[in-house]
């Protein structure tokens, strides 16, 4: 039963990650992560997730330069 509860919370995590940014989303994510942390003390019962395993460890965020490039005239 504990394994199914973890799988359900993990599924909820991926659903909520797709919501638009809002305080409600952040509060929900914190609750889910807290539940997963308290349930997931034993790594052998955490299911393998293809979504999590396919994520890159490095953020794909692209930073804009602080100064705009000069326009070619």
Per residue in 15-70, pLDDT (tens digit) is 998 899 999 999 999 998 888 888 876 555 555 677 766 766 554 555 555 665 55
Looking at residue 21, its pLDDT comes to: 92
Domain carrying residue 22: 2-45
What are 68's two structure tokens? 């705009």
From CA 5, how far away is CA 67, in angstroms rounded? 49
Predicted confidence (pLDDT) at residue 12 exceeds the cutoff of 70: yes
Looking at residue 31, its pLDDT comes to: 92
How many independent structural domains does the chain possess?
A: 1
From CA 10, how far away is CA 14, in angstroms rounded? 7
Looking at residue 6, its pLDDT comes to: 83
DSSP, res 41: T
Looking at residue 59, its pLDDT comes to: 47
From CA 29, how far away is CA 12, in angstroms rounded? 9
The answer to whether position 65 is within a domain reads: no
- Angle 13-6-32 from CA coordinates, rounded to 5°: 35
The answer to whether position 26 is within a domain reads: yes
The answer to whether position 56 is within a domain reads: no
């Amino acid at each position: 039963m504990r394994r199914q509860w973890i799988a359900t919370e993990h599924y909820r995590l991926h659903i909520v990650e797709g919501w638009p940014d809002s305080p409600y989303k952040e509060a929900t994510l914190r609750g889910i992560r807290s539940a997963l942390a308290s349930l997931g003390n034993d790594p052998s019962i955490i299911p393998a997730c293809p979504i999590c395993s396919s994520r890159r460890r490095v953020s794909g965020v692209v930073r804009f330069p602080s100064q705009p490039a000069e326009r070619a005239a």
